[in-house]
Structure 1
Amino acid sequence: MGEYPNRFLIVSLGSIGRRHLRNLRLLNPAATIAVLRTSKIPEPQSAVGADLTVYTLEDALAFEPHAAIIASPASMHADIASKLAARGVHMLIEKPLAADLSSADTISRAAVGAGIICMVGYNLRFKQSLLKVHDLLNSGIVGSVLSVRAEVGQHLSTWRPGTDYRNSVSAQSSLGGGALLELSHEIDYLLWMFGLPDKVHCNMGRFSDLDLDVEDLVNLTMEYESPKRIINIHLDFLQKPATRKCKFIATNGTIEWDALGDRVIVAGSPEVVEAQTFDFSPSDGNQTYLDEVRHFTTSIANGNDVQPNVQNGVDVMLVIEAARRSVVLGGTVQIGRP
């Protein structure tokens, strides 16, 4: 058994960093929370709720945190995470784990070598409607899944109201932006359900007039050999209104997940599958983030593994690396098993 952490470090105070700061203070009112600012632009009001603000990693390490939430751009994760791991600091790293596979491997080796808990911030894993889909698939209610179609899209200019999207991480290649990395939740939850694929094929690029230097549309196919299965994933920065949904086509029926409506629909041949609709009370959009942080801190206290863990984050990057290679080669790429 470990000890419940009461000294937290939050790295970076963008929109997700500020959310984590509010949630940590709500869940741990007596904790001591420090913030490491990675931006050189002073924003005195953004650290409300923190006990200490520092501006160098050395000062952050001197604070001696028990646990850290790394919410900086993905391109910065490996250096910061490696140094925190060396001090035995448990980490929740915002998705994606890193901007490239090599950096993800660096983080994984550091975390495993230090024996710390390292969680990746794919908060959709805590969404009750998606958990229901996971349970239904495991129950075999619709048989064996043969095909999956997942889609998520939202016009980038509407992601963060009140901010200029051109200055966001999402729009900048140097910070680890682009639809493939920023919308990698879909890759994570499908790997959670089905494991790593055998092959990947991808097309992506810039198709809109958005002012960015990253891809704004991705069509990704994951192929499985045993059992045979094809998963199609569509990611974009373009759609008005926003959408997030997934359809699972199986031998005896289908399961449809409407993420924004928090609804799951099961259908099939009446003699085989009972038609069912599961409606979940629309929750505060913050609930999955609260549940995520609660899982992280209680896992530290209880000495349990976390989900998604650092290996799950590496697996997502394996698929992303294969997708990038597929685009360069113009063909299907075999996944290299870790």
Structure 2
Amino acid sequence: MEYVMIKRILINGAGSAGARHFEIARDLFPNAQIAILTNRQILDSNLGYKLHFTNVEEAIQFQPNIAILAGAASTRIEIGLALAKSGVHLLVEKPISVSTKNVENLIEICAEKKLILAIGYNLRFYESLIYFRDQLNLGVIGKPLLVKCEVGQFLLSWRESADYHHSVSAQRKLGGGVLFELSHEIDYLAWIFGKIEWVRATIMQQSSLEIDVEDSAFLTLGIENKKNPNLVANLAMDFIRHDIQRNCIVIGESGTLKWDGIKQQVSILKQGESSWTNLITTTHSSNASYLAEWKDFLECLETKKSPMATGIDGLKSLEVIAAALESAPTGKQIEIQPNSFKEDY
């Protein structure tokens, strides 16, 4: 499709996420001016950066049509508010922030100014996960009874191209830790199964990694599911395992459905059978999901439809994380209080 006329693009962040978005922007809009907003004084010239701002005031003078916020999560709301007040459409990497503070304010400003506010939960664009969701909605295993979800990778192997000590993942002030860095799982569980109503959590820093954040989190989530209003999901997240895992298993009344996010595969074990049947294996890559995320964002600019992941979705994930942090010291079940927005706000 032909996209809206984009002449100026702002990318906030010069790390790996910012570089990925820069490359996509350059490919989609070869004639646009693309500027980088980062407090880094020196940028990698090999990446082709030409315009460089070190503060948001300078970036606003650039008058970008759209902005991609891929810097530290702790900076996204402040920068996002400044840009939104200036009429800039926003694609914000996940998580939208490190707390719920001022997130509602950003959502309200974007709504008032009729700006698109999309959140970068790119797993929603994985073809295998979409298929997994569709199969569950079709009822291939009947009523869901239990969800088991797992994600993990050793931090050193994940961040092997740089000193992990300086990575966002390792630093609380930047929004590190498994709860924020791996919040994709929290988002897609709500996207697939329904509203998360309560949380019980155990959170630990148990490895010898030199980090000031949790490296492991174990969450029990109560979900208001259409087929099972008392559905429970168990979610394990970590930076310590040496076998990379990203999977979701749903036990239903008539079988079990499994999504493997590493192999991009969906399998089923039907009641009475002894072996799994592969339903689909896709070749859809992580990079393809980011491109699909961009195309969804641009389609929103054209048609004014809602993004695949909205600002409210980003807020909901933060509410779950806040409840998990509150629960962790005692293991107490924390009810998630409803925010002030309607689903279609």
Report TM bin, short chain.
Answer: over 0.9
- Distance in 1 (CA, whole Å) between partners of 2:104 and 2:198 is 21
Contact 1:179 1:215 in 2 (8 A): yes
Change (3 A) 1:164 1:275: closer
**CA drift at 1:205:** 1.4
- The one-letter code of the counterpart of 1:106 is N
**CA drift at 1:284:** 3.7
- The one-letter code of the counterpart of 1:242 is I
- Distance in 2 (CA, whole Å) between partners of 1:172 and 1:282 is 33
- Distance in 2 (CA, whole Å) between partners of 1:241 and 1:188 is 23
Map 1:270-285 → 2, pairs under 5 A: 276-285=277-286
Q: TM-score, normalised by structure 1?
A: 0.94
- The one-letter code of the counterpart of 1:247 is I
Q: Which of 258, 263, 266 is the equivalent residue of 1:264? A: 266
- Distance in 1 (CA, whole Å) between partners of 2:276 and 2:47 is 49
Does residue 45 of the first structure (1) align with residue 11 of the second (2)?
Answer: no
Match of residue 310 from structure 1: 311
Does residue 54 of the first structure (1) align with residue 53 of the second (2)?
Answer: yes
- Distance in 2 (CA, whole Å) between partners of 1:110 and 1:118 is 10
Contact 2:6 2:29 in 1 (8 A): no
**CA drift at 1:115:** 1.9
> Sequence identity, in percent?
35
Match of residue 178 from structure 1: 177
Match of residue 245 from structure 1: 247
- Distance in 2 (CA, whole Å) between partners of 1:152 and 1:74 is 20
**CA drift at 1:108:** 2.0
- Distance in 1 (CA, whole Å) between partners of 2:46 and 2:186 is 32
SS in 1 for 2:30: coil
- Distance in 2 (CA, whole Å) between partners of 1:298 and 1:217 is 37
**CA drift at 1:301:** 1.9
Match of residue 342 from structure 2: none
Match of residue 162 from structure 1: 161
- The one-letter code of the counterpart of 2:233 is I
Where structure 2 has 5 or more consecutive residues not aligned to the other structure, the ranges are 340-345
Contact 2:203 2:216 in 1 (8 A): yes
**CA drift at 1:276:** 4.2
Contact 2:323 2:336 in 1 (8 A): yes
Where structure 1 has 5 or more consecutive residues not aligned to the other structure, the ranges are none
Match of residue 343 from structure 2: none
Change (3 A) 1:110 1:38: farther
Q: TM-score, normalised by structure 2?
A: 0.92
Does residue 13 of the first structure (1) align with residue 14 of the second (2)?
Answer: yes
- Distance in 2 (CA, whole Å) between partners of 1:115 and 1:143 is 40
- Distance in 1 (CA, whole Å) between partners of 2:58 and 2:90 is 17
Match of residue 235 from structure 2: 233
SS in 2 for 1:286: helix
Post-superposition CA distance 1:96-142 (Å, at most 9, x none):
01101124333223322322100111110111100100110111111
- Distance in 1 (CA, whole Å) between partners of 2:131 and 2:79 is 35
**CA drift at 1:270:** 5.6
Post-superposition CA distance 1:211-244 (Å, at most 9, x none):
0000000000101366211101100001112111
- Distance in 1 (CA, whole Å) between partners of 2:88 and 2:81 is 10
